[in-house]
Amino acid sequence: MRKMWIRGIILFLLITCALVISSASGYTADFPKSYRLWQGSAAMHEIGVYGYCGTQITVQSPYGAAFDLYAMKNYGSPGTCPSNDYIMSHYDKYAYSSGNGGSATLYLDQGLWCVVVYARSGSGMAYVTADSNCFPPGPVPTPLPPIPGPCSPYKTVDRSGFLYSGQAAVYGYFIPTDGRSQIEWTLTGSGGNTPIIVSSMGSQVFSGSGFSPNFDLYVFKDCNPQYSYCNTNYYANGPNAYVSISNPQRGSTYYVMVYARSGSGTYNLRMNSYKCYGDTPIIVASAPVYASTASVDYSSAGSGSGADTAVSSSIAAPTAEFVSVSSQ
């Protein structure tokens, strides 16, 4: 009889410390869970912690991926968790995966919790566990956000050709439906034998008989300047022009115009596109470049201060003699 009484007490304590775990649609107890996530996707679970026991929830990322945890306490009734985006921007606790197949763990105390598993990078099967912990946890250090690592270009395309002063070449770049986080173009030039005005540091201008051409860069969204009147907020004057667009529009074509403002020679145009989480590391553009002729002032639009080099003022495509890029 005494043994049955002891077993009853133990059973009561276990039930008190048990977790009631749910998804957004209703309560369930089928932890651990396993499901597939891809970069930028998320899954939400509603977890009720009752009695004096806490719980630890852990997500194990697959190799090459980083899945994170965000938890927000819900003071309403079960089934009232807000959206994933709201939880991730108003979280009470978070844990970042170490990346490359690491794990993230959160300790949840008594109450009702809304927990989001977020695929920060990579894709694959997420393995989520929730374990009861009837012992008071020790001090838990606040995790620091991960330091963004280098982000390699998803695709690189190089183009080159020869232009005389007043000529231009146009290239089209289509953004597929899977999207890109950023696209950038770097333009350099060499050769030629036309004397030009060479800019120097700051706003000082020095004239000379140099031999480097000035190639300018213009980017037009869904408008080909070779056949239409186009305006743009993305442009930069050479030498070493640079233009970058963050989150380019899916399904759109960006037409890049290389314009020989002065001099003649060979241009080299490099395009890098990215599919990255968060801020995309970019090639740092040069400081604003100033050059002048006897009657016109030019200035670079991109200063390298951010991932998107759009300027507030829109300009039209310069009048030019367009050359065929297929023959270059």
70-101: per-residue pLDDT in tens? 999 998 888 889 999 899 888 899 888 876 67
Peptide linkage before 32 cis (omega within 30 of 0): yes
Percent of the chain whose predicted confidence (pLDDT) is above 90:
28
For 157-182, write each residue's pLDDT tens digit.
Answer: 999 999 999 999 999 999 988 888 88
The answer to whether residue 43 scores a pLDDT higher than 50 is yes
Which of 161, 234, 237, 232 has its CA nearest to residue 196? 237
Distance CA 84, CA 300 (A): 41
Other Cβ atoms within 10 Å of 237 Cβ, number: 25
**Domains in the chain, start-ordered, CATH in brackets?**
17-133 (2.60.120.380), 155-327 (2.60.120.380)
Predicted TM-score (pTM) above 0.75: no
Kindly state the tokens that stand for 225.
């300047």
Tokens of 17: 């410390």
Give the 3-state secondary structure of residue 204.
coil
User: How much is the mean pLDDT over the chain?
Assistant: 74
Q: Averaged over 207-223, what is the pLDDT?
A: 76
**Whole-number pLDDT of residue 214:** 87
Most confident listed range (151-155, 180-184, 255-259): 255-259
Between CA 180 and CA 56 the distance in angstroms is 36
